[in-house]
Amino acid sequence: MRLLVTGAAGMLGHEVVAAAERLGHEVAAWDLPECDLTDERATTDAVRRLEPRAVVNCAAYTNVDGAEDDEATAERVNAGAAGNLARACAAIGARLVQVSTDYVFDGSKREPWIESDAVAPLGAYGRTKLHGEEQVAEALADHAIVRTAWLFGPHGPNFVSTMLRLAEERDEVSVVTDQVGSPTFAGHLAPALVDMAERSDIGVFHGAGAGSCSWYELTLEAYDAAGVACRVLPTTAERFARPAPRPAYSVLGSEREHPIALPPWQEGVRAHLTALEEVAPR
């Protein structure tokens, strides 16, 4: 299958390209400057020239706090670009797998969020990703919107790598205990996205690391797996205030008959540590 991966230079896109190539697909990897997805005409023309059977859109504005100060840019990338890509796919009969986020939910539940739950994003990042979902669903029948959560991997900035770096610089760190989610290793999600590109079922899907934990528990697990001696102090989101509000509980579950099933998040942490060693400069 000829597969287009957008946002290919990013943390998730890098893994999707690698997974698709391992599976024997003909892969086109796009990122800036190959095509500016916020330019509708350029996007349509480029997709027409390539004629992919399917597209996995990993391009996104992912700076959650930055989006609060620059929602217009986040909207252009997370919503406008997704809509442009969906309309381009519709013009040639291609399928689109759109990556979205747990931050479309407000965190008010205390059991896993399923695909049909009401969305109510708390901040600009979640709003713009939701608008992207809406544009994709409106423009293209053959789509799969895959919401994931707390993504980490060796090819981009992420919470786990940041905490490992801080452990080298400090004797102790403070991490919030009252935000709970589903940590997801990009290397585990990527082949699932490629599989979604090959499937025919449409709509919204949830795909995240199995299980749940707080940021505090995720840090403890990462330090234990890495053999790090840094002390981890519990704190709260109120004490560790950040520009963008985060949902207190954004664990993802699924009501799908054939859900996306990923390994436990703890396995993801260990796979991440192995991957970091593999990409480290020699």
Measured in residues, the chain has a length of: 282
Name residues whose C-beta falls within 8 Å of residue 107's C-beta, 6 or more positions apart in sequence: 122, 179, 246, 247, 248, 249, 250
**Tokens at residue 65, please?**
């706090």
The Cα-based distances of 144 to 8, 108, 131, 140, 207 in angstroms read: 18, 25, 15, 10, 11
Distance (Å, whole) CA 139 – CA 90:
7
Q: What is the DSSP string of 99-111?
A: EEEGGGS-S--SS
Catalytic positions: 125
**Chain mean position to CA 5:** 14
First to last CA, the chain: 35
- The residue assigned the tokens 């796979």 is 271
Q: Do 86 and 131 meet the contact criterion of CB atoms below 8 Å apart?
A: no
CB-based contacts of 221-228 (< 8 A; 24+ apart in sequence): 221/265, 221/266, 221/269, 222/160, 222/163, 222/164, 222/269, 222/273, 223/163, 223/164, 223/167, 225/266, 225/269, 225/270, 225/273, 226/164, 226/167, 226/273, 228/164, 228/167
